[in-house]
């Protein structure tokens, strides 16, 4: 809630909080956070059917914003950081309060404009227009560097929105879990006869997104050793069920992993340590994993934790950012050198989209072959692109009621709607058994062109009949089939060489506005860092009305349709075949 009296703004009094909750004095290098505006009560999403806003669409945006910041969901609550290093939900606490107030006052035919976490205008539009339009971190291309962004950030003029942090559709680690599950399932199919049973995957990172990897491996029946420098994050992922056991040390970790592998047991082991240190140790011991990957936060050097005593390293980050970044880059080079050496020893190496290879290249390491291709591939070109060609991607929904029973009812409807999809049935079974609801209950599921529209109408009908107790928010990750240009991740190695063409996410955002989405976002840099990607997000709320059913049909056809258009245009025959079979209209396609 707003303070009872408006405080005098004194930027010199603002401060950044530390992990212990203490608030040191603001320095010239720190962004203004306006802590005097932080709500007295901890932010958590409202539940139930009582509206604080004038429409369910605005209420949904408010609840999803609150859900992003819920301490059970967010990475650093005091700084409004949701995940991905510094991905924020709002620019600062003052602007958060303004956004909340504006959403509560927003009329049914008005649209709020949000510029990098700050509400900057309200427009009179239409009942079927988006209630919120969001742009985060976008900079004119020649200026779109991490250094220039950091300066704007320090001045309080911009924030990093990551992907779903600044677009208010983050659903904690589950949000990326099925995509990670699908990736490891594809690896199992290609390399191990359809299962990861009897294999060990080595990876690193247990933040909000990277925590998905150990559970995705075990859901595919494999063993995972995951390395994380912050001990509390290992413990948190154990509490949440993403990690099964915390190792005492490296020797203990390898003993547990080898025993589980021999027994064909699915098991995830968390090891407190630094990947740049541990991977070379594994090589020295002659340990050969079947798979090696990584999902530490590496897109911004300030978010990658280098080797050394963790307390000293974090102190260096606060006291001398430039020295910290040099150490981070040196550790990244060691990290990637070790991955490449493991690959030479027969381990399957795959990049999981955090720009680790790109940073190592900046550090002077050779990461490409003579043709310019990366020495080990990204997960999209290696395993996921055929799904993108079918318009598939991480479709998700959240229960505004806060009642897990609503998600379980939708799970049942999902299996009834697609009874022949065995992989989907396996996912739902395992998700119900192993994936905790964190914040607002939610589910993620990879559905393709035609399927999303079909199931969106099923959800809307459940709301209309009262079989779920409140409207359902339907959205997706920005990592989707037609919503992102990211040459080091989603669009790496496109068939026609169009990796860096950013027209597609721009068209995606425009098309979703034209089709009637409830809020639409357009970001720079998510996943791989400022200047390295452009991507858009879409959300629509199933309210149970006939009018919303019509909009759901349009939006949930338009949005994955962009994936068909994008990949068909790039020359992928699978996407062209899907377009013909499912009636996606592409001028010039015979």
Catalytic annotation, residues: 445
Q: Cα angle at 162 between 159 and 165, to 5 degrees?
A: 90
The answer to whether the CB of 467 falls within 8 A of the CB of 458 is no
Look at residues 94, 70, 112, 81 and name the one whose alpha carbon lies nearest to residue 156.
94
Cα-Cα-Cα-Cα torsion 231, 232, 234, 237, nearest 10 degrees, comes to 180
- Which residues participate in the annotated binding site for NAD(+)? 84-85, 162, 228, 233, 274-275, 295-299, 304-305, 352, 527
Q: CA 223, CA 202: separation in Å to the nearest integer?
A: 9
Ramachandran bin of 198, using left for φ above 0, alpha for ψ from -120 to 50, beta for the remaining angles: left
Please state the φ and ψ torsions of residue 50, each to the nearest 5 degrees: -80, 125
**End-to-end alpha-carbon separation of the chain, Å?**
58
> H or E stretch including 119?
strand 118-124
> What gap in Å lies between CA 555 and CA 133, rounded to an integer?
15
Residues 335, 393: Cα–Cα separation, whole Å:
30
Residue 564, burial from CB neighbour count under 10 angstroms (0-12, 13-18, 19+): buried
Sign of torsion over alpha carbons 266, 270, 276, 282: negative
Asked if 537 and 144 touch (Cβ cutoff 8 Å), the reply is no
Helices (H), 274-381: 275-284, 310-319, 321-344, 356-362, 379
How many whole angstroms separate alpha carbon 264 and alpha carbon 112? 53
Residue list, annotated binding site: 84-85, 162, 228, 233, 274-275, 295-299, 304-305, 352, 527
- Output DSSP code: residue 383: I
In the Cβ-directed half-sphere of 62, how many Cα atoms lie within 13 Å?
Answer: 22
Q: Is the dihedral of CA 42, 43, 47, 53 positive or negative?
A: positive
Q: CA angle, 419 as apex, 418 and 425 as ends, to 5°?
A: 90
Yes or no: say if 471 and 202 are a contact pair by the CB < 8 Å rule: no
Q: What is the 3-state secondary structure (H, E, C) of 445-508?
A: EEECCCHHHHHHHHHHHHHHCCCCCCCEEEEECCCCCCCEECCCCCCCCCCCCCCCCCHHHHHH
């Amino acid at each position: 809630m707003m303070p009872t009296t408006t405080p005098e703004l004194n930027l010199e009094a603002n401060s950044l909080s530390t992990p212990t909750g203490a608030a040191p004095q603001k320095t010239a290098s720190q962004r203004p956070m306006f802590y005097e505006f932080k709500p007295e009560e901890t932010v958590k999403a409202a539940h139930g059917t009582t509206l604080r806003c004038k429409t369910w669409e605005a209420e949904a945006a408010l609840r999803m914003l609150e859900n992003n910041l819920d301490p059970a969901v967010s990475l650093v609550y005091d700084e409004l950081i949701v995940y991905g290093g510094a991905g924020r939900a709002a620019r600062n606490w003052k602007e958060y309060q303004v956004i909340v107030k504006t959403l509560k006052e927003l009329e049914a035919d008005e649209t709020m404009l949000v510029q990098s976490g700050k509400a900057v205008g309200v427009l009179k539009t239409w009942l079927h227009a988006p209630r919120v339009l969001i742009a985060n971190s976008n900079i004119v291309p020649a200026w779109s560097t991490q250094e220039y962004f950091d300066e704007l950030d320090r001045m309080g003029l911009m924030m990093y929105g990551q992907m779903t942090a600044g677009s208010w559709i983050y659903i904690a680690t589950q949000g990326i879990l099925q995509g990670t599950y699908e990736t490891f399932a594809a690896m199992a199919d290609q390399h191990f006869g359809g299962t990861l049973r009897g294999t060990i995957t080595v990876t690193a990172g247990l933040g909000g997104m990277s925590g998905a990897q150990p559970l995705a491996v075990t859901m595919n029946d494999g063993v995972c050793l995951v390395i994380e420098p912050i001990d509390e994050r290992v413990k948190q992922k154990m509490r949440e069920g993403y990690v099964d056991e915390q190792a005492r040390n490296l020797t203990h970790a390898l003993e547990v992993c080898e025993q589980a592998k021999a027994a064909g047991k699915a098991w995830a082991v968390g090891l407190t340590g630094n990947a740049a240190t541990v991977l070379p140790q594994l090589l020295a011991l002659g340990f050969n994993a079947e798979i090696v990957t990584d999902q530490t936060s590496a897109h911004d050097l300030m978010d990658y934790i280098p080797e050394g005593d963790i307390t000293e390293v974090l102190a260096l980050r606060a006291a001398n950012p430039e020295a910290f970044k040099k150490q981070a880059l040196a550790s990244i080079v060691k990290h990637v050198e070790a991955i490449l050496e493991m690959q030479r020893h027969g381990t399957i190496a795959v990049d999981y989209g955090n720009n680790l290879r790109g940073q190592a290249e900046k550090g002077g390491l050779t990461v490409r072959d003579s043709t310019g291709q990366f020495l080990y591939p990204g997960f999209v070109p290696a395993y996921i692109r055929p799904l993108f060609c079918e318009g598939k991607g991480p479709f998700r929904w959240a229960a505004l009621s806060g009642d897990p029973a609503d998600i379980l009812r939708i799970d049942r409807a999902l299996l009834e709607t697609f009874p022949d999809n065995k992989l989907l049935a396996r996912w739902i079974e395992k998700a119900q058994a192993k994936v905790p609801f964190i914040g607002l209950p939610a589910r993620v599921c990879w559905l393709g062109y035609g399927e999303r529209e079909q199931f969106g109408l099923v959800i809307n009908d459940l709301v209309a009949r009262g079989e779920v107790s409140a409207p359902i928010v339907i959205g997706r990750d920005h990592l989707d089939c037609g919503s992102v240009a990211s040459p080091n991740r989603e669009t790496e190695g496109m068939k026609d060489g169009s990796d860096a063409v950013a027209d597609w996410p721009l068209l995606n955002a425009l098309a979703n506005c034209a089709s009637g989405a409830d809020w639409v976002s357009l970001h720079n840099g998510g996943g791989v860092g400022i200047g390295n990607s452009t991507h858009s997000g879409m959300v629509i709320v199933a309210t149970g009305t006939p009018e919303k059913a019509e909009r759901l049909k349009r939006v949930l056809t338009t949005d994955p349709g962009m994936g068909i258009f994008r990949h068909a245009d790039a020359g992928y025959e699978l996407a062209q075949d899907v377009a013909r079979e499912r009636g996606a209209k592409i001028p010039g396609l015979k």
